[in-house]
Structure 1
Amino acid sequence: MTIRRYGEAVKPGQRYKRRPGVYAILMQGDSILTTHQASPIPEFQLPGGGIDPGEHPIAALHREVMEETGWHITGLRRVGAFRRFCYMPEYDLWAEKLCTVYLARPVLRIGPPTEPDHTAVWLEARAALHELGNAGDRAMLRLVLNGQFPR
């Protein structure tokens, strides 16, 4: 099975480390809960991130959402997956990111994000199609909003 690639093209001769990750579209009404990462490049993102060695992907998603938003989530349903090839300056790493995206509901705010330089931000879902910083996140959100993935 081929996983669609979004973002910059693969750089010839560049070695990439495969980095699986999990991300969430956190819907509440017509809004989604995003994370705004202030550095290294300020942008809105779907909450989520890398899966640690030996960690179950669903456990990683719960951990990452809590770190980046301060919220507990429930009702996870897989939306899809995509690949991105990018440089991650915070890790000094060229990565092939394998991004699996879930739809979920935020159910309980525990506190502020614990991840440095992250802020939890509610965005109107249609506006988020323009605000999210990467094309893969926008494509997955578009699937949900266009009814191609039933809520």
Structure 2
Amino acid sequence: MNPALQFGQADPDSDYRLRPAVFGLVFHDEKIACVRVTRDTPYYDLPGGAVDGDETETQALIREFVEETGMTVRPLHRIAEAGQFFRKSDGDPVNNVGGFWIAERLALDPARKIEADHELVWLHPRTALAELRHDAHAWAVAKWLRR
């Protein structure tokens, strides 16, 4: 599975595990939903993550939004696909490959969020372009802005 667009620099001495993934763009009051992840060095991501087992991208996106933000979403349409080489917080080298979806916010219940180190934040899209950790995420936001 080779994406049409690949972001990040692969370390030639590392074996990057293919990790099917999906991320969502939800807009509200001219801002985009992001997650601020508080680990050694805090960073911003689009909500989303790995597609588990037999899940579809849309099933994974719905699950990931609830786990990371407490938000229930409805995926509307897939706007892009890209890969992103990176090292997870445990050092595991992975290549996230998958879709970026526009999704609709249906409900928000912070009590449903289970990832304690993730916090829902609403960023202006131009701020998100500068702050998102992964180039693939910033590219997806830029693609949406240029629609």
| Unaligned stretches of 5+ residues in structure 1 | none
Deviations 1:131-151 (A, max 9, x none): 21111101100111112xxxx
Specify the alignment match of 2:142 in structure 1.
142
Identity %: 26
Specify the alignment match of 1:70 in structure 2.
70
| Unaligned stretches of 5+ residues in structure 2 | none
Deviations 1:33-54 (A, max 9, x none): 1111111431111000001112
- 1:32 alignment partner, SS class: strand
Structural RMSD (CA) = 1.6
Matches within 5 A, 1:76-115: 76-90=76-90, 92-112=91-111, 113-115=113-115
Specify the alignment match of 2:122 in structure 1.
122
TM-score normalised over the length of structure 2: 0.90
Tell me if the contact between 1:28 and 1:105 (Cα under 8 Å) persists in the aligned partners: no
**2: CA distance, partners of 1:2 / 1:22:** 13
Amino acid at match of 1:6: F
Greater shift after overlay, 56-65 or 108-117?
108-117
**Moved segments of 4+, more than 2 Å:** none
Tell me if the contact between 2:34 and 2:122 (Cα under 8 Å) persists in the aligned partners: yes
Instruction: Count residues in correspondence.
Output: 145
For residue 2 of structure 1, report the CA deviation from its aligned partner: 4.8
**1: CA distance, partners of 2:131 / 2:92:** 25
Specify the alignment match of 2:6 in structure 1.
5
Amino acid at match of 1:43: Y
Structure 1 residues 118 and 45, CA, compared in 2 at 3 Å: closer, same or farther?
Answer: same
